[in-house]
Amino acid sequence: MLNISIFKRVVIILVVVAGLVYAMPNLFYPRVETHNDAVVAIERAGGETTPELEADLSAWPNWLPSSLVNLGLDLRGGAHLLAEVQVQDVYKQRMDSIWQEVFPVLRDARDIVGTIRRVPTEDGTLRVRLGDTTNINDAAQLVRALATPVVTITGTGSTNFTVNVEGDEIVVELSEAEKLATDDRTIQQSLEIIRRRVDEVGTREPTIQRQGEDRILIQVPGLGSADELKALIGTTAQLTFQPVVSRTTDPNQAPGPNNTLMPSIDEEGVYYVLEDVPVVTGEDLVDAQPSFDQNGRPAVNFRFNPHGARLFGDYTAENVGSPFAIVLDNEVISAPRINEHIPGGSGIITGNFNVEESTNLAVLLRAGALPAEMTFLEERTIGPELGADSIAAGEIASVVAFAGVLIFMALSYGWFGIIANIALILNVAMLFGLLSAIGATLTLPGIAGIVLTIGMAVDANVLVFERIREELKNKRGPARAIDLGYEKALSAIIDANITTFLTAGILFIMGSGPVRGFAVTLGLGLITSVFTAIFVTRLIVVIWFERRRPKTLEV
């Protein structure tokens, strides 16, 4: 019964070879990495190459697989941040725009509602106080008519905001459905902006992903520290151009209705009273580049899109002689006087920058503003040397573990032990092949997972060999013993590995970061070890048996 059809043999051998081929690039890690970087660089440059890139490209042949096991942050070094997006920031902006709609409607109904005043709030609601409350319900009805239906999968009939009456105030609040939709949009935008900013810096394989409701995980290998990363993505970079009402040194000055007080970024103790509604915002920017002003000081050149250019041109034409403020994240960078009409939609931001700051600001403005602020819940910096040490230690440990297991197996099972050893080597190679093919990330616990796999991978073979031994003890012939050994050990192998695989699956679903890396190597290791035990060693045993036809068997 020791027959394995030719077809099966070919498939088994092909799978093993494919595993080996995919694992191979990892043996030449630096060369393949140079090659891959060159490929990316050429792609970015739109197909243009330089001699250096060509040289890098030829470090590894194009026709060979070039996917590598990614090294996790703990092995390569780099920065890790877990940011929470303050999604409720956006509610306030939404309320501002709703106010722009509500105000004209109520103003037209002034004869029934009396005076209209917006009450400042901190909780993301819009409160409008009416002078005459007799018709407040009718007024609320007018506001309610402005709400538009929200399209959701479940919610029918819900509108984008709700309107209630509390005392002499009309309270407008975003509906739950609208909040969810807004949150989702905020996170998506934040992800996009962060990705653009990190890409501008141009590091290799950053991880930027959403985690849970309102969190974003950012991992950038090779970056010096989490602080640098924070400087890059921690700034909202909301740029606005706002009309200046007055300048003051009193931080407690009442700015008056529809105005705000903002500090100057450079001049200590100087504050500006600005109009709330900006003339133009950073959203209308199409480009920003670091440059120098006429005095040779670092500055940032910017250009508006046609919409922004028109607004900016019109405003400067009408307000020659009055100052306007360039505001970044609620701080006034500068407040120059408009000397003349500025058509064409380009300008320059000057301030007290050094070259690095102006370059950074340009990057931030180009990438766009984050829709909301972020707080950082978790940050980790791992130095590249520590990562290199960990890899070195992991390598040595793996080699020693490997050697120990190989020797022990050979001593315990003789020739069959050597077959199991071949399978073990193939197993680890295939595990690497699989990890590379799916682009998995190897972390330090992941290395531990591989070492554990080395230890446990022999289990399936041990089960089979012990079973063959038992069958031999029961006076079975060699062929029959081998056959029964595989047949009877199968259910134990399958059950034992499925249960372990289930726990690896749970680890993968619930774990994060390094733990997940461990789950991946453990789970894939189980798959390859079962495959090698029930197909590969069996094939080797069968081929050996067919050639030798031994009369007796010693396992």
Partner 1 sequence: MRLKLVPDNTNIDFFARSWLSLGFSGAMMVISVVAFLVFGLNFGIDFRGGTTIRTESTQPVDVGAYRDAIAPLGLGDVAISEVFDPSFGPDENVAMVRIQAQDGDEAISVETVQAVEDALTGYDPSITFPSVESVGPKVSGELIWTAIEAVAAAIATVLVYIWLRFEWQFSLGAVIALIHDVTLTIGVFSLFQIQFGLPIIAALLTIVGYSLNDTVVVFDRVRENLRRFKKLDLKEVLNLSINETLSRTFMTSFTTLIALIALFVLGGDVIRNFVFAMIWGVVVGTYSSVFVASAFLLRLGVKRDWSKPDAEAGTQFGNAEN
Instruction: Show contacts with partner 1 in window 484-543 (CB under 8 A).
Output: 488, 490-492, 494-500, 502-504, 506-507, 510-515, 518-519, 522
User: Contact, 174 vs 160, CB < 8 A?
Assistant: yes
User: Contact, 532 vs 434, CB < 8 A?
Assistant: no
CB of 94 to partner 1, least distance (A): 24
Indicate which single residue of 226, 239, 335, 440 sits in contact with partner 1 (rule: CB under 8 A): 226
Residue 311 or 526: the one with the smaller Cβ distance to partner 1 is 526
Residue 115 or 503: the one with the smaller Cβ distance to partner 1 is 503
CB of 439 to partner 1, least distance (A): 21
Amino acid code (one letter) for 498: I
441 binds partner 1 (CB under 8 A): no
CA distance 374 to 139: 37
Helix (H, G, I), strand (E, B) or coil at 207: strand
Residue 282 or 387: the one with the smaller Cβ distance to partner 1 is 387
Q: Taking Cα atoms as reference points, which of 352, 322, 354, 355 lies closest to residue 340? A: 322
Return phi, psi of residue 150, to 5°: -100, 135
CB of 516 to partner 1, least distance (A): 9
CB of 469 to partner 1, least distance (A): 8
Residue 369 or 382: the one with the smaller Cβ distance to partner 1 is 382
Of residues 298-327, those binding partner 1 (CB under 8 A): none
CB of 340 to partner 1, least distance (A): 42
Of residues 122-161, those binding partner 1 (CB under 8 A): none
Residue 74 or 284: the one with the smaller Cβ distance to partner 1 is 74
Indicate which single residue of 1, 6, 145, 411 sits in contact with partner 1 (rule: CB under 8 A): 411
Residue 282 or 513: the one with the smaller Cβ distance to partner 1 is 513
Return phi, psi of residue 215, to 5°: -120, 155
Residue 136 or 519: the one with the smaller Cβ distance to partner 1 is 519
Indicate which single residue of 11, 40, 386, 543 sits in contact with partner 1 (rule: CB under 8 A): 386
User: Contact, 219 vs 204, CB < 8 A?
Assistant: no
Contacts within 8 Å (CB) and 24+ apart, 88-96: 88/124, 88/372, 89/371, 89/372, 89/373, 90/182, 90/183, 90/186, 90/371, 90/372, 91/124, 91/174, 91/179, 91/182, 92/124, 94/174, 94/182, 95/121, 95/124, 95/125, 95/126, 95/172, 95/174
CB of 383 to partner 1, least distance (A): 4
CB of 369 to partner 1, least distance (A): 21
Taken in order 465, 470, 471, 475, is the CA torsion positive or negative? positive
Q: Taking Cα atoms as reference points, which of 344, 320, 323 lies closest to residue 332? A: 323
Residue 79 or 239: the one with the smaller Cβ distance to partner 1 is 79
CA distance 407 to 429: 19
Helix (H, G, I), strand (E, B) or coil at 140: helix
Query: Which residues are CB-contacts of 494 (< 8 A; sequence separation ≥ 6)?
Result: 530
Residue whose token pair is 């409607």: 105
Stretch that binds partner 1, among 107-115, 131-139, 156-164, 390-398 (CB under 8 A): 390-398
CA distance 437 to 70: 11
Residue whose token pair is 């029934």: 112
Of residues 363-382, those binding partner 1 (CB under 8 A): 375-382
Of residues 451-490, those binding partner 1 (CB under 8 A): 451-452, 454-456, 458-459, 462-463, 466, 469-470, 473, 488, 490
Is residue 417 packed enough to be buried (19+ CB in 10 Å), middle (13-18) or exposed (0-12)? buried
CA distance 116 to 114: 7
CB of 408 to partner 1, least distance (A): 6
| Residue 179 structure tokens | 């909040």
Instruction: State the Cα torsion 230-231-232-235 to the nearest 10°.
Output: 100
Residue 89 or 275: the one with the smaller Cβ distance to partner 1 is 89
| Residue 36 structure tokens | 């891959």
CB of 404 to partner 1, least distance (A): 4
CB of 522 to partner 1, least distance (A): 7
Residue 27 or 396: the one with the smaller Cβ distance to partner 1 is 396
Residue 122 or 385: the one with the smaller Cβ distance to partner 1 is 385
Q: Taking Cα atoms as reference points, which of 437, 459, 242 lies closest to residue 329? A: 242
Of residues 56-85, those binding partner 1 (CB under 8 A): 74, 82, 84
Stretch that binds partner 1, among 18-26, 396-404, 432-440, 476-484 (CB under 8 A): 396-404
Indicate which single residue of 266, 314, 331, 389 sits in contact with partner 1 (rule: CB under 8 A): 389
Residue 56 or 74: the one with the smaller Cβ distance to partner 1 is 74
Stretch that binds partner 1, among 104-112, 116-124, 361-369, 391-399 (CB under 8 A): 391-399
Residue 293 or 329: the one with the smaller Cβ distance to partner 1 is 329
Q: Taking Cα atoms as reference points, which of 221, 227, 229, 218 lies closest to residue 37? A: 221
CA distance 412 to 255: 86
CB of 78 to partner 1, least distance (A): 11
Indicate which single residue of 225, 301, 305, 359 sits in contact with partner 1 (rule: CB under 8 A): 225
How many Cβ atoms from other residues are within 10 Å of residue 352's Cβ?
12
> How many binding residues for partner 1 (CB under 8 A)?
80
Within its chain, how far is the Cα of 75 from the centroid?
Answer: 18
CA distance 64 to 37: 16
Indicate which single residue of 221, 308, 394, 478 sits in contact with partner 1 (rule: CB under 8 A): 394
